[in-house]
């Protein structure tokens, strides 16, 4: 059996594509999810990937979840921080709850999961962490001050942790996907998608989740040990940092 990989929010959308790609490549994969138990169980049945429910914004729940995964599969050697939510509104209409929910799920979760998993990686002298940020962290997006702040926070976190653990055989990278065909983007009104978003993407279409998974597979490879602290854009040319 290959190395043990955990994907947060790994039962649908981009996370599910990452979990499937890792499994197909021979990794022993666990997928975390936040809700919709029925859909997660259907995913587990179809793919054979075990699924674990916990809230990634809750530190104690993460501790308990990580312990369950490690009891079942062994030490986590690869961590993909993919779980995320949006609560879009212009700032003058954004409630403190919308702000806090996004910071908690999209950014606190990265601290929670890395804080729990990094000590074991340090001890064993190997680890691969990929943080799923967003093109909107780099270019900004009206209606997403909360989301862009959380996703940009992930990039600073990535670069800092990468420096701390580089000598321990652990790499920490961020990816910044552009608009990808998942439930998150299906929630965007079609008019906004066709008239405002698609014209900004030189490739002329949305990404498929599998195209994001390819990049993750590349970054977690044993042979990718010299790539760390990087921010890899996968956005169809929408924004070139």
Catalytic positions: 147
Dihedral (CA of 110, 86, 6, 62) sign? positive
Residue 180 touching ligand NAI (CB under 6 A): yes
Measure the CA–CA gap between 213 and 60, rounded to whole angstroms.
29
Identify the residue whose tokens are 């050697």. Answer: 77
Q: Segment near ligand NAI (CB under 6 A), from 13-21, 71-79, 194-202, 218-226? A: 13-21
Tell me how crowded residue 41 is: count the other CB atoms within 10 A of its CB.
14
- Give the interface size with ligand NAI as a residue count (CB under 6 A): 28
Residue 39 touching ligand NAI (CB under 6 A): no
Of 103, 6, 11, 116, whose CA–CA distance to 57 is shortest?
A: 103
CA distances from 6 to 46, 50, 211 (A): 18, 10, 19
Question: In this chain, which of 13, 127, 153, 236 binds ligand NAI, going by CB under 6 A?
Answer: 13
Residue 184 touching ligand NAI (CB under 6 A): yes
- What part of residues 143-172 is at the interface with ligand NAI (CB under 6 A)? none
- In the complex with ligand NAI, which residue's Cβ is closer, 13 or 153? 13
Question: In this chain, which of 158, 173, 182, 228 binds ligand NAI, going by CB under 6 A?
Answer: 182
Torsion of CA 181, 97, 35, 217, to 10 degrees: 50
Residue 15 touching ligand NAI (CB under 6 A): yes
Residue 11 touching ligand NAI (CB under 6 A): yes
- What part of residues 74-113 is at the interface with ligand NAI (CB under 6 A)? 82-85, 105
In the chain, % helix, strand, coil (3-state, to 5) comes to 55, 15, 30
- What part of residues 117-146 is at the interface with ligand NAI (CB under 6 A)? 132, 134
């Amino acid at each position: 059996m290959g190395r043990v990989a955990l994907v947060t929010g790994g039962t649908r959308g981009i996370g599910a594509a990452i979990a499937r790609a890792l499994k197909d490549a021979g990794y022993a994969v666990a997928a975390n999810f936040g809700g919709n138990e029925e859909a997660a169980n259907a995913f587990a049945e179809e793919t054979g990937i075990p699924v674990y429910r916990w809230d990634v914004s809750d530190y104690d729940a993460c501790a308990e979840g990580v312990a369950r995964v490690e009891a079942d599969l062994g030490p986590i050697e690869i961590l993909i921080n993919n779980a995320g939510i949006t609560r879009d509104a212009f700032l003058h209409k954004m409630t403190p709850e919308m702000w806090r929910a996004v910071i908690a799920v999209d950014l606190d979760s990265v601290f929670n999961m890395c804080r729990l998993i990094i000590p074991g990686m340090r001890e064993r002298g190997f680890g691969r962490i990929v943080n799923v940020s967003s093109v909107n962290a780099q270019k900004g997006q009206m209606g997403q001050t909360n989301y862009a702040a959380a996703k940009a926070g992930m990039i600073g976190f990535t670069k800092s942790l990468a420096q701390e653990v580089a000598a321990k055989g652990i790499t920490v990278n961020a990816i910044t996907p552009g608009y990808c065909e998942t439930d998150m983007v299906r929630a965007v009104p079609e008019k906004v998608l066709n008239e405002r978003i698609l014209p900004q993407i030189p490739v002329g279409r949305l990404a498929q989740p599998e195209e994001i998974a390819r990049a993750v597979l590349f970054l977690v490879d044993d042979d990718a040990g010299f790539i760390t602290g990087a921010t890899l854009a996968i956005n169809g040319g929408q924004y070139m940092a």
